[in-house]
Every structure is written in structure tokens, then in C-alpha cells.
Structure 1
Amino acid sequence: MVNKIFMFAAIIGVPLSIIGSLMHLPSIMMFIIYCLTIIALSSFMGRATESLAIVAGPRIGGLLNATFGNAVELIIAIFALQQGLTEVVLASLTGSVLGNLLLVAGLSFFIGGVKYKRQHYNVFDARHNSGLLMFAVIVAFVIPEVFSISMTDRETQSLSIGISAILILLYVAALFFKLVTHRGVYQTEGENKHAHEETPEWSVKKSIAILAIATLAVAYVSEHLVHTFEVVAESFGWSELFIGIIIVAIVGNAAEHASAVVMAYKNKMDIAVEIAIGSTLQVAMFVAPVLVIISLFFPTPLSLVFTLPELVSMAASVLLMVIISNDGETNWFEGATLLAAYVIMGIGFYLL
């Protein structure tokens, strides 16, 4: 039933988006249509990556889900950079970190915990990811802010480029570590015990084709969504910071949101955790650095200098996730704790 609703929304939403953009319909109405269309398209991306996960396993499946999910956000961010909306881009990166670690993981832990008393996942992967989270968010994002105080804008930009190059190299090394040199070394007993019992909804070729088509459609809708930000902000009294952290992040990560929660409900916590934490790592160690490099081709370059509220909220989210996830099991109360932290930060950014 839910899949049919998303299919109907996508079939209606894409033509409406095209017609609305050509006829220049009211921005607020188009903002809502664009957001709903992206969410509907993201559901297809989530189903396709779930099918691929059954064939490829939880690590590669989670990586694929995070990659195609973050592709939506990357597309939105590039169009925002073209418009010179660097604050929105930085806010959307912050929102992705908060959304994945607190909202996605929180909903997954809560909904899965309501159905199952205790849910387990690979503790070795959790601890490995914890170290990368601490490095990527706390070290790589805090350092530019600290040093930029005594630097010129050009020096700050150079520092951001250097850090971006290091982050991309380390992210590639992390993938090589998990998928090549140490693949299966830290595998827990029964990690894939149900994999052989499942039949993917779509074949590999069909899944890849749907992912490609959905991504192209999202690219078109996202470009027009960016043009509505300023009007919507003025109409509702929202700041660019709030739009980037809450609205853009939720819309851009809709695929991960849906897939992680479904995986948790099916007691596939390895995939759910890989989606939530893996997506965060990809945003911090790949998406953000790539945007810094791409911005060099635009009039307004992007520096990895976040505001103090953004840095504190991201650091708090990472520390909370590290403490909760390091034992390799979870329950509904831990999910409620993560969700409560997300709501508190959301209220703070709304009032800021």
C-alpha cells in the first residue's frame, strides 16, 4: 500500500514539477511539490538499494544506499553553490550529520526496539566507525574553525582544500580496509544468516536502472527546489540555517530514512546501522570535501568553517552515538534518546 502511494506521488509529482517550473507557479506551492516528489523518488532508490543489499550483503548494500541517498543531497548542494548559498550548503551538511546520527538511527532503534526487546549488530564495525566519526566530524570540522580565527580568507580556503584532500584519501582507504583487506575478518556469527532466504524485489539490472532514472529525476527537481528557498524563508520566517539543517537534510536523505527504518523493523540492524553511520561518514569524508573542491569553479568558494552552534551540535551528536552504539546492541529507549536530542537541536536552530 505504501509503495503504491509513493509510486502515485512520483508519477504525479514529476510532471507537476516540470509544469510548475515552466509556468512559474507560486514558490511556496512548488516548494511543497518538489519536496514530496523527491521523497517519493527516494523511496524507489531505497527499494532498489535494498534489492542490491540482499545480493551484495549488508556492508555493500548499506554503502550503496548511503551513496545514492547522498547523491540527492550532493545534487541539491551543487545547485545551491551555483546560487552562492554557501550557508545553506554548510547547514545541509550539518543537517545530514544530525539527521543520520539522531533522526535516522533514532527512528531505526526506536521502531526496531518496539518490535524486538534487544537488537544486535556488528560491534567491531560500530567501534571502527566510531573512530572515523570522531576524526571526520570533531577533528576535520573543528580544526578549520579554530585556525580560521588567525587566518585570512585565502589561507582558510587553502586549509579547507588541504583537509578536503586528506578526508577523501582517508575515506577511500577506509572503504579499501572494510571491503578488501579486512572484509569478513570481523564478521559476527550469523551476520548474513537470513540472506539466502530472501529474494530481492528487483533484479540487479533493474535496480541499477531504477537508481539511475530516479537520480536523474531528482537532479531536475532539486535544481528547481533550490530556487524556492529564499521565498519560502521570507514567507515562513525561517532562516537559511534552519532550511539547510532541517528541511534540505530531511528531503535530501529521505532514501536513507526510509531504508534504515525498514531494515530495523525487519531486524536487520547491521544494514540499518551501516546506512545511518556509513551515510554520516560519507557526508563528512567525501561529500563535504568534494563540494569544497567543486566550489572552486563557482564565484563563491566554500570553506569548511561552520558556525559554533553547528559544530557543537555535530560534536554532541557524534559523542552520543559513539556512547550508545559501542556495545553492539540497542533498544527502543536508546532510540528515544537520540530522537529527543534531535528535537532539542531542531528547536534551537528554529529559534536561532
Structure 2
Amino acid sequence: MDKIFGILVLIGVPLSIIGSLMHWPSVMMFIIYCVSIIALASYMGRATESLAIVAGPRVGGLLNATFGNAVELIISIFALQAGLIEVVLASLTGSVIGNLLLVAGLSFFVGGIKFKRQKFNVFDARHNSGLLMFAVIVAFVIPEIFAMSMDTSSTISLSVGISIILIVLYLAALFFKLVTHRGVYNSQNEERNGEAHEEPEWGKGKSILVLLIATLAVAYISENLVHTFEVVAKSFGWSELFIGVIIVAIVGNAAEHASAILMAYKNKMDVAVEIAVGSTLQVAMFVAPVLVLISLLYSESMSLIFTIPELVSMVTAVLLTVVIANDGETNWFEGATLLAAYVIMGMGFYLL
């Protein structure tokens, strides 16, 4: 698989540059851009996995989620610049439901086929559940309710205020997990995993270099990808909502998708869950608020006001994940349940 991604990078990146300079057809370039970003994301995933072996499951999961979300953040910034606010909000929705239902679902399913019962840190699961409920149900639902009685200016002001609170609380959550309470809630499963020594694929220097180069390449390709959305939507009959929720979210989060499933297959469930849930928290509590603040620099500002289908889908995904993951163990059937929910939502967004 690594060789395949290597070939795709060697072919896809030059084709992306040549195609953008020579103005090849938008639909063809859309496919080339998406394949190239996914292939580059695999290298980002391998680099962060190498760094994670040294840093431990919590920091490793955080690194993987951060660099995985960097791709989506880059795509979203260019989309904001192009005035595609609906696509950005839809991609944030897609990240939340994609990480909680698709990534976690595939991880639980693939790992559950190999191991009948997989355990992860129950304390982390409960801590993350509370943050998920706050980030999605409180911080996203409340602006929707209050916006019904507000003008556009007040809605933007409310969104900016909530964004600042979300960023502060997210940084406080990292400080709690990585500094003040680091190691306090370690599970026996995590301690056993920590005993096994594993050699990283790449050294620290090479991993950081690969991350930087891959991120720069993704930034260039993402800027061009955004300009193909309108033509692709008309060609395939897709709505901007479907492109944002399904296509951009899957492409933008390809790095952590692959890494979480691989970790689950290796029975490293603490890392897999940290990637899936940690990435969701980062999107809801950091990426979305940062995009709101960045949008103030452009002619059209973005508020945290989602459509009703987007809002209901995110709340449903959070509640289902909390119920399934709160006991600290999982199996393939629970993974299949999450995947079934994702397919149902995907069908709904496609038909809208």
C-alpha cells in the first residue's frame, strides 16, 4: 500500500501542477487533485505515526489529528477566500460525522474482525464524551437558536464570542490531558502497550521534513481543488452541501482515516480512538472557531450557523458515539452500527 501511495504522489503532484498551469478540464483535475491529496495524506500519516511512537498514544493521536486536520483547514481557508461559506460549513459537518461514524466505525469494525473484544481508556472516553456534548450540542445548537431572533451583525458577534470560548476551552483541555493530569487516568491496556518497544519507521528529522513538504504540496493542490467545485457540482448533479459534507471531508481527513484504521488493526485502540474522537474535538473546538475568526478578514464573514440537516446529523453522531464508546470497549458490530448511521446520513445529503 505504501508503494502505491508513493507512485500516486510521484504521478499525481506533477500532473496537478501541469494540469493547473495548462487549464485541463475541471472534472479531470478534481479527480487528480483528490487522489494526490489522499496520497500525500498517507505520508503525513506515516510521519505522524513515527513521531507518535516516541511521544505516546495521547500525543501521537493529537499529532495525527492536528496534521490530518491541517489539510482540511487549508482547503477551508481557500474556500472562504472564494466565498464558498456553505461548502466550509458543510465540510466541518462532514468532518464531525465522518470522524465519529466513518473513521471510528471502520476502526471498530476492522479491529473487531481480528480481535473479538478491544479495550481502550475508559476515562479518556468519558472525558471526550463531555467535551463532544459541549462542543457540538452546546456551542453549535445555541447559535442556531439565538440567531432566529438576531440580525446578521449580531449573529457574527455571537459566533466570534463562542469561537474564542471554544479555543480557550480546547487549549485548557490539552493542558489538562497533557500536563496537569498526564498519566493520572492511564488504563491497564495503555500501560501494557507502553511496555512494548516499537521502532519508528522514520527518524524525527525525516518525519518533520516529510510533514512540512507534504503540507506545502497539499496547500498548493487545495487552492486549485477549491476552484473546481462549481463545475464538478454541475457535472455530477451534486449540491455544494454534498461536496462539503462527503467529498471534502473524506479527502481532507484522509490522513487520520488511514492511521486510525491501521492502529485498530494493530489493537492500539487508545491511539485509534484518540485520532477519531480527538480529531472531531479539534475540528469543533479549534478548526471551526479559527475559520470564523479568519473569515473576518474577508468580505463575507462566516457564522457558526449550520443548516438543520447538518445540525441534526452532528448531534445524532455525537449521541450515538457517546453511547457506544462510553464503556471503554468495542467490537465489530458496534463498528457496523456507526457505519450504517454514516451511510444513512450520506444518502440523505446526496438526495437533498
Q: What TM-score comes out, normalization by structure 1 length?
A: 0.99
**For residue 168 of structure 2, what is the aligned residue in structure 1?**
169
Note the alpha carbon deviations across 1:190-235, whole angstroms, 9 max, x for none: 4143444211000111111111110010000000000000000000
Q: Deviations over 1:231-279 (max 9, x none)?
A: 0000000000000000000000000100000000000000000000000
- 1:349 correspondence with 2:328: no
- The 8 Å contact of residues 98 and 342 in structure 2, kept in 1 or not, is answered as yes
- Alignment partner, residue 338 of structure 2: 338
Partner of 1:238: 238
Residue 184 of structure 2 aligns to a residue in which SS? Answer: coil
| Separation in 2, partners of 1:46, 1:84 | 30
Pair 1:188 & 2:187 matched: yes
User: Which position in structure 2 is the counterpart of 1:15?
Assistant: 14
Q: Percent identity?
A: 78
Cα deviation per residue 1:50-77 (whole Å; 9 max; x = unaligned)? 1111110000000000000000000000
1:122-164 CA deviation, whole Å, 9 max, x = no partner?
A: 0000000000000000100001100000000000000000000
Structure 2 distance, partners of 1:341, 1:244, is 18
In 2, Cα distance between equivalents of 1:85 and 1:138: 24
1:27-46 aligned within 5 A: 27-46=26-45
TM-superposed deviation, 1:189: 1.6
Quote the Cα distance in structure 2 between the aligned partners of 1:46 and 1:230: 30
Separation in structure 2 between the aligned mates of residue 308 and residue 76 of structure 1, nearest angstrom? 24
TM (norm. structure 2) is 0.99
Q: Which runs of 5+ in 2 are unaligned?
A: none
Q: Which residue of 1 aligns with 2:155?
A: 156
1-structure distance, mates of 2:53, 2:295: 37
User: What secondary structure is seen at the aligned counterpart in 1 of 2:275?
Assistant: helix
User: 2 CA distance for matches of 1:38 and 1:192?
Assistant: 35
Residue ranges of structure 1 left out of the alignment (5+ in a row): none
Alignment of 1:1-352 (within 5 A): 2-195=1-194, 196-352=196-352
Secondary structure of the corresponding residue to residue 193 of structure 1:
helix
What is the CA–CA distance in structure 1 between the aligned matches of 2:104 and 2:205, rounded to whole Å? 30
State the Cα deviation string for residues 14-40 of structure 1 (Å, max 9, x = none): 000000000000000000000000000
The answer to whether the Cα contact below 8 Å between 2:111 and 2:332 also exists between their aligned partners in 1 is yes
More off after superposition, 183-192 vs 51-60: 183-192
RMSD between aligned residues: 0.6
Paired residues of 2:120 and 2:189 also in contact (CA < 8 A): no
CA distance in 2, matches of 1:160, 1:95: 20
User: 1:89/1:164 Cα in 2 relative to 1: closer, same or farther (>3 Å)?
Assistant: same
Q: What whole-Å deviation, never above 9, does each CA across 1:152-185 have from its counterpart, x for those lacking one?
A: 0000000000000000000000000000000000
CA distance in 1, matches of 2:101, 2:202: 30
Q: Retained in 2: the 8 A contact 1:57–1:192? A: no
Superposition misfits of 4+ residues, deviation over 4 angstroms: none
Name the CA distance, whole Å, in 2 between partners of 1:213 and 1:107: 29
Note the alpha carbon deviations across 1:270-299, whole angstroms, 9 max, x for none: 000000000000000000000000000011
- Structure 2 Cα separation of the partners of residues 190 and 101 of structure 1: 22
* Matched residue type, 1:258: A
